[in-house]
Every structure is written in C-alpha cells, then in structure tokens.
Structure 1
Amino acid sequence: MTETAASTKIAGDQVEVWWSSEQSPGDAGWFAGPMPNRYALEARPAIPLTKPAASSLATTILVTPAHHMQELLGIGTSLEETTIHNLARMSPDVRQRIIRELTNPEHGIGLNLMRITVGTSDFTAQPFYTYNDLPEGDTDFELARFTIQRDIDLGIVDTVKEVLAAAPDVRIFASPWSPPAWMKTNHSLKRGRLKEGDEYTQALARYYRMAIGAYAEQGIPIYAMTLQNEPLLETDYPSCHMPPERQKELAIALKAELAANGLATKLWIFDHNFEDAFAYVAPILNDAAGYAAVDGIALHDYDGSPSVMSELAAAYPDKPIYLTERSVWGTAGAARIAEYFRNYASSYNAWVTMLDSRIGTHQWLGTPGPTMFIQDADQPDRYWRTPEYDLLGQFARFLRPGAKRIMSTGGEQPSVTNVVFANPEGNLVATVINQTDEEQSFRLLCEGWQFTAALPAKTVGTYRWR
C-alpha cells in the first residue's frame, strides 16, 4: 500500500520560509531614490518535512547536524562617523526607527555586532583626528592630553549608547586607522609607520587601553579591538603601515595593559585582506608570547580568496576568524557571505551603514556603492533601504550568537549555494542563494527527513526547521 503525502509528514513540523530578491545590485541609481523590488524578507507558505524519497531534482543539499564547525559571534555593520553624522541630522524618532530596523530581530534584521573606529577613518564628515593630537614637535608619552571629547561632541558616544539601549546584547568592537601623528615616522595621520622603539610601542598600547577605558566609563564595553585597520596600506587618509613583527610587540604590550587595568577586551590581529593573511598572521601566532596575546584573526575581502580562512582555521584552530569589513551587493554578495561562513568566519560586518543621496559625506578616495540605508540629503528625515538590508537580514534575522555552522554540501554552483547553522535553541537555519536568471528547485536531506523547494531567480531563501 502506497503511503499518502499526509502520512509522511512529521506531525507539527514544517519548514518556515522567507525570501529576499536583488534589484539593480550596486547601481548608483539607488542614490537617486528607492526602486521597487519583488521580495523583501517576505514570509512564504511553510513547506512540509517529509520522509526521504527518490528525487529527479538536479540539486540535493545534504545536511549533517552532528558535524559542526565554528561558532557564530554575530553579524553586523559599522557605526563609523559618516553614518553617525547622517543619523545626527535626523529627528530622534527617525533615528530610533533606523536603530530598531538594524538591531531588532522581530521588526528589523537583528544585527548584533557593530564596528566603531578609534578616532576617525576615511568615512567621516570631519577633519581627521585621534584622541591625542598635539602641536607638531610635541610628545606625550604619559598621554596626559588624551581625550575622547571629540567623539562625545560629534554624537558618536550618544549614538552607540542609543544602540545599546535598544539592543543590550549588541557587541561593539573597535578599529584604529592611525596612531596619533606624534607617534609616527612622518608626523601625519596619513601614511607613515609607528616610530621604532619600545617607548612608542608602549605609548600606543597605553593609548588603546585608555580608549577602551574611556568608552567603558561612558557605559560602552568594547568587546574586541583590532590593532590597526589594514596594516599593509599606506594611503592619503588615516593609515599606518605596521609589519607583523611590530604588531606582535603591540599585541603583547596591549594585553599586559588590559590585564593590569582589569579590562577584558579581546585582541584581533591583522584586519586586512585574504591575499596577505597567512604570511602576516603566521609570524605572530608561531611565537608563544604572540599566540598568548591574540584572541582572534580579523580579515577583509578586497583581495584574495576566502579559502585562506579555512587554512588559518586548520593551522590555528583555537583562534576564531572574523570578517570585519566588506560590503557586497545582490545575490552574488549573499553567496559571498555564505562563502565566508563556509570557510570558518565567525562573523560578518558590512562597512558603512548610511550615505546620503549625494553619496556623502566621506573622504575615501573612491566612489562608494549604495549602502543599506540612504538618506535624502535635502530632507534628512526621509530615507530608503536598499535590497542589501533585506539580503543581509536573510542571515542575521534568523541566526543567533552561539549558533554552530553544521556540515552541508554546497549544492550546485550553477543552481543554488548555501550555508546551514544550528541555533542554540535547537532549530536549524539554511540560507540558500539562487544567483541564476531562472527559478531553481532543490531537495534538502537531513537526519531522515527532507523537503523540496523552488527558489525564484536572483533570490535568497531562508529555511528554518526543527
């Protein structure tokens, strides 16, 4: 006797489904105003879990929950000064609405990991500054003139406090773009290197520790810190070349500073591109003192392959890997995020949350692509979201900190790709990406059960089940 479809269902168990699609990914036309899109975190009819059956579908995804890999720290974006400058132009109610849309998992996308800058970066509306700017020729090894007052005056501190008030579980990590100019070989925030000598290493370690302490005094705990944004780059905005041997010395000195002052901030090394990651990280982590001082490895995706993260995970399994900077667009971008996670990234952070309709205000040397939020430069309370908000939400809204990535086959690149996590509360979440121009059907097999689904062209689907 043939079993009916109804009798093959797990009683009460279905797969919840949400879709988001791309629209003109990365197109500068988004700065001119919103565009219609097909799906934006749209809940779809649930799919039944059924007993396994033969399938003629070309793509089958095999999921093995018992085989779990890295733990997820979080997914987020940046609260660099450009974004905060634009938020500050808005009324308090609208600013609060955007914060909810970013951080609330029910009414937003549940981002829970935010990157801030130590002093200014290239994405700022302000003249470049640090917390210890001195007249040329002066030094201040005791940092008597250290202050974060500019961050207070510019509303950076208050905005971060607003985020934490709305979402207390958000974690903050910080990245510096340049040491104070007096510590550098060229006496400028642009380009240059940290001056040689232990007194400068110790002074910079003290400077970072004081920045962490000053934020803690404001009620903002800094969960982690990278030691130098893009340490292999010297360019005409705040930057500083820092070879691995010097970063190792700095990590050791800063770890001692933190311990002596009762601060638990974690230290992440590198904070630059895949291409140079292994060559930079190995000299630090192959040294016993360097290894002990380091809590994780931070990476950017502007050059090289994400596969180096898998190499680093195999070489240094006790040092989590974090994707601290990259913005991506469309379903190709969503597939790239899945690739980060499939290569052992424990986090993902987008870079720059809100530009205005005149692509402002920043001092980067290129032309940025559209951000998740775009503000009308002439009517600051008017804003619109790009599809990148929803596409990032296909991951962030459904994954909780502490989720474990579990083994899944990749599907077929010409059809769909995926990444699968098990949340701490026990549900499984598969994010499946269709980059093609046609609808793609697939079957997912997991622990004696399966479901089949059809995913529209240029769409990301999230599937959640127990």
Structure 2
Amino acid sequence: MSTLLNTAVTTQEVEAWLSSEMTPGNTRWFEGPAEPAYALSLQPKLALTAPSVSDLTTILVTPAHKYQQMLGIGTSVEETTINNLLKMDPAARASFIQQLADKENGLGFNLFRITIGTSDFTAQPFYTYNDLPEGETDFELKHFSIQKDIDLSIVETVQALLKAVPDAKIFASPWSPPAWMKTNGDLKRGSLKEGAAYTEALAKYYRLAIQAYEEHGIPVCAMTLQNEPLLETDYPSCYMSPERQRELAIALKREFEEHGLTTELWIFDHNFADAMGYVTPILNDPEGYEAVDGIALHDYDGSPNVMSEIHAAYPDKPIYLTERSLWGTAGADRMAQYFRNYACSYNAWVTMLDSKISTHQWLGQPGPTMFVQDAAEPNRFWRTPEFNLLAQYSRFVKRGAYRIGSTCGSPDTVTNVAFRNPDGTIVMVVINQTNEEQPFRVLCEGKQFIASLPAGTVGTYRWQ
C-alpha cells in the first residue's frame, strides 16, 4: 500500500516559469528593447515526491495558515499613458490593451487605478470637473462635468479595458479638489477650506464623479479620499489632516448611501512612514471607523512592516498597495514583502512613457515603465523586463486567492510568498536577488519538490 502511495506522489508535477532582471531601473530601456535571459519562460515540470533528507535551502509551505484575500494586481490608467496610446492606430492600441489583459500571453491585470481630474502624469493643463473663474463658487455643483475625460478619450480607454477584462475592478483617486474649494484658490498646494459647507460640497463632487463614470458603464469599486494627503507640491495636491479626512469620509459615505452607491472608501493613500499616525485618529473614532472600508498605502518612504501593525490594530480593514513602481529582483522581493505584510492588492504607477520619457508634469525624472513607446514611431512599443517580473505574480495569483503560510527565506539565498487560488492550486513566487544560481527545496503537506533559480531571476511555481 505505501509503495502505491509513493508512486502516486512521484507522478504529481509542479509547473514553473522564470523571468530575469536586466539593468533594472536603468534609463537604457527608453532607448529600445533587449531580451533578458528568461522572459516568462516555461520550464520542464518538476516532480512532487515524498520528502527526503536535504541540506538545501528549504521553504516550508503551510496552506492551513490562511491570511488576507487578494483583490487584484494591476496598474494605473493615468492621462500620460492614454495620451501616448492615442498616438497609435487602432490596431496598435488594441494590441497594447490585450497585453495588459491577456491571462495567457499578457499581464492578466484585473485592477486599474484611474484619476479623478488630472494628476501630475498628464500631457494636459491641470483640471478638475468643476473649474470656475477666480472668485466664483458653485456649492450646488451646477457646472460639474467629466466632459474633459470624454474628450481626452479617458472614458473610452477605460471602457475598452473593461471589455478586454470583464471582471476588472476600477478604483479612483483625486489629486486635488476644485480650486474654489481650496485655501489658496489653486490646484497646486493648499488645503480644503474649513467648514461643513466645503466638506459637503467636496463629498457631493466625488459622488457626482462616481455616478458620471457609472453612467458610462464604468463601475468604480472604491475610491481613495485624497492622493498623498501629506504632500503639498507644484502639481495638483492638497494637504488633508486625518481629522479632516475623517469628516470627509463620514460625509461621503452618507452621500453614497443616500444615492445607492456601493463604492468603498479607502483612507490615507500615502507612505508607510506616516501610516499609523494618520489612520489611528480616523479609525479610533466610531463614526470614522464605520465610514471606512479599507486603507490605501504607497511605498516611497518607510517599511512594509507597518501594514502588519495596522492589520493587528484594525484586522477588519483590508490594506491595499495603491501606488509604486518596482524594478528587478529587488522589486519582486519588495512586492513579496507587501503581500507578506497583508496587502490585498498591488498597483503600478504609470503604464507607458515614450522614449523621450514623456509626457508628464512630475517634478523628477521617472524610471522605466513596463511599456515604452517609440516617440518617433508611436505604433511601436516594447516591453521592459518589468513586464515579465510583474506577470510572474499577476498571471498566476487570481482574485479571491488567499496568501498562505510560508517561511520567508533570506535575501542571501531565495525569498518567497505563497497563495492558494480559488481553484485550489498553490502558487509560489520565489526570488533570487543574488549573483549565483540558488538551489532550494519546498516542503508542503507531506510532499516536496527541488528546484534551482538562476542568478537575478524570479520563478513562479504552481501545483495542485
């Protein structure tokens, strides 16, 4: 009997795909494509066998230890990317969208971030949906309109994405309230004017934005209340204290409920370093806690470990990584850290710049995006290695998957994160940041497999 069981075990197999880093984050990717050693390369299947004695680096996977549930992995649909897309002919545009959407040959993205009005990544003069001549106000929002989003093909592009990915989720983030609502009368810098009248006007403004998108067949599953509320800078931005954000969340939740909207509210939408200090005044207040559905975070300052701290403090409030772009195996490991610290999602920021690193109004020089467009020949665009490294997660980790237990490993050998998909398959992303090939074994529920990851490479392993 035991012989038969062992034979059955050895016939089970593990699928494996590899992608390599190549000059990660380097501006050379704006000059043209190049082929890394591995690019979502399917490997020979590995045998799942009975356990054996081994001196190899060993990762223990425990599916019984179930953590957060995944909402999705995706990118941003900001106006910079859309502006570059519009320079293409319809066939090239369709190919680009297919590469975002395709679950077999593309990225398989299912979560997209849109902006309410303009962000810093735009080719346009900054605008909101309620811009007025200086000195005028519009508390009834009679002049509200998303017509600019229609004219700039933002609405059309998001509609095309939803057609390509019918199960996609869309969430939205504002960079600034309309200027007439702000202390300095400008989309740059400043803060929301004091008083309930302005809080309620802004809540109504956001409610109208969500309704306008829904009228165009674009349901918005969630919105953040202010992109980077602790930043005032020379592009659309708005300082918003946690106390003020709590007031806005309560007013906006009331607006949504009165108009039958189920859009969730995610607070903060800024860096790890300031997260705990910002969310506690909101979530320790009973009304604030009730109004909030989740917590959004960026990774430009601080440690992902704060997400575990927030999860321990507020276990019923899901955490979302709403903005960061990452490069190379260090980036793939950082992404694993997000998920190991309770992030339910990941969204890259900016999907396609052109070979002139344009067009945007950010105040620095961006690193390479997952796609780069040839500025001289707009129908031509290429993938950077980040496309492959992102797809090592996004193609395989399905919505509704749970992160499961796994020992984390070490940057000196391999690190990892593991998930169980709704269909029961286990997916494990393993990262080798070293300059040497790293052999390792995985022990899971009475079985093992042995694999080896080349230097500077990420592997995704999937088994039943």
What aligned pairs does 1:217-236 form with structure 2 within 5 A after superposition?
217-236=215-234
- Report the AA paired with residue 163 of structure 1: L
Aligned to 1:423: 421
Give per-residue Cα distances to partners, 1:197-230, cap 9 Å, x unaligned: 0000000000000000000000000010000000
Letter in 2 for 1:279: G
- 1:287-302 alignment runs, 5 A limit: 287-302=285-300
Aligned counterparts of 1:56 and 1:409: Cα–Cα separation in 2: 16
Taking the aligned partners of 1:279 and 1:82, their CA distance within structure 2 comes to 33
Correspondence for 1:406: 404
Supply the RMSD in Å over aligned alpha carbons: 1.2
The amino acid of 2:269's aligned partner reads D
Deviation at 1:100, TM superposition (A): 1.1
Q: Secondary structure at the match of 2:97?
A: helix
1:221-370 correspondence to structure 2 within 5 Å:
221-370=219-368
Kindly provide the CA deviation profile for residues 233-277 of structure 1, in whole angstroms up to 9, marking residues without a partner as x.
Answer: 000000000000000000000000001111100000000000000
Residues 363-399 of structure 1: per-residue CA shift (max 9 Å, x gap): 0000000000000011100000000000000000001
Which residue number in structure 1 is paired with residue 115 of structure 2? 117
Residue aligning to 1:25: 24
- Code of the residue aligned with 2:12 in structure 1: it is D
Task: Tell me the number of residue pairs that the alignment of Structure 1 and Structure 2 aligns.
Answer: 463
Alignment correspondent of 1:443: 441
Contact 2:30 2:372 in 1 (8 A): yes
Query: What is the DSSP-based 3-state SS (H/G/I as helix, E as strand, rest coil) of the residue aligned with 1:355?
Result: strand
Structure 2 unaligned spans of 5+: none
2:257 counterpart SS class: helix
Match of 1:86 among 84, 96, 109: 84
Residue type at the aligned position of 1:35: A
Once residues 88 and 338 of structure 1 are traced to their aligned partners in structure 2, the CA distance between those partners, rounded to angstroms, is 34
Return 5+ residue gaps in structure 1 as ranges.
none
Corresponding residue number in structure 2 for 1:38: 37
Cα shift at 1:412: 2.3
Residue type at the aligned position of 1:385: R
Residue 3 of structure 1 deviates from its aligned partner by 7.7
Q: Secondary structure at the match of 2:44?
A: strand
Q: Secondary structure, in 3 states, of the residue corresponding to 1:363? A: coil
SS in 1 for 2:33: coil
In structure 2, the CA distance between the partners of 1:11 and 1:454, relative to structure 1 (3 Å rule), is closer
Question: What is the TM-score when the length of structure 1 is the normalising length?
Answer: 0.98
| Partner secondary structure for residue 144 of structure 1 | coil
CA contact (8 A) 2:14 2:461 kept: yes
Determine what percentage of the aligned residue pairs are the same residue: 68
| Cα distance in 1, alignment partners of residues 385 and 284 from structure 2 | 42
In structure 1, how many angstroms separate the alpha carbons of the residues matched to 2:304 and 2:7? 40
User: What are the equivalent positions in structure 2 for 1:389-404 lying under 5 Å apart?
Assistant: 389-404=387-402
Q: Hey, what does 1:371 align to over in structure 2?
A: 369
CA distance in 1, matches of 2:446, 2:455: 29
Superposed, 1:168-247 pairs within 5 Å as 168-247=166-245
1:79-138 residue CA offsets vs partner (Å, 9 max, x unmatched)? 000001011111111111111111111121210000000000000000000000000000
Letter in 2 for 1:193: S
CA positional deviation for 1:9: 5.3
3-state SS of the aligned residue for 2:45? strand
Q: Deviations over 1:283-323 (max 9, x none)?
A: 00000000000000000000000000000000000000000
Identify the match of residue 150 of structure 1 among 148, 151, 173: 148
Give 1:393's aligned amino acid. Answer: A
**Contact 2:392 2:459 survives alignment (8 Å):** yes
8 Å CA contact retained: 2:101, 2:108: yes
- Letter paired with 1:464: R
Match for 2:59: what amino acid? I
SS for the counterpart of 1:444 is strand
The 2-side partners of 1:266 and 1:351 are apart by: 21
Q: Tell me which amino acid in the other structure corresponds to 1:311.
A: E
Which 4+ runs in 1 deviate beyond 6 A? none
Q: Give, as a single letter, the amino acid of the residue that structure 2 aligns with 1:185.
A: T
Question: Which deviates more, 10-19 or 65-74?
Answer: 10-19
| Distance in 2 separating the partners of 1:12 and 1:373 | 40
Counterpart amino acid of residue 323 in structure 2: E
* Separation (CA, whole Å) in 2 of partners of 1:381 and 1:150: 25
Secondary structure, counterpart of 1:282 in structure 2: helix
Matched-pair contact (CA < 8 Å) for 1:9–1:51: no
When the two structures are superposed, what TM-score results if normalisation uses the length of structure 2?
Answer: 0.99
1:140 corresponds to which residue?
Answer: 138
Counterpart contact for 1:172–1:221, Cα < 8 Å:
yes
For residues 438 and 11 of structure 1, the distance between their equivalents in structure 2, rounded to whole angstroms, comes to 29
Distance 1:35 1:9 in 2: 43
Distance in 1, Cα, partners of 2:286 & 2:447: 47
State the match for 1:51 in structure 2: 50
Q: CA deviation at 1:11?
A: 5.9
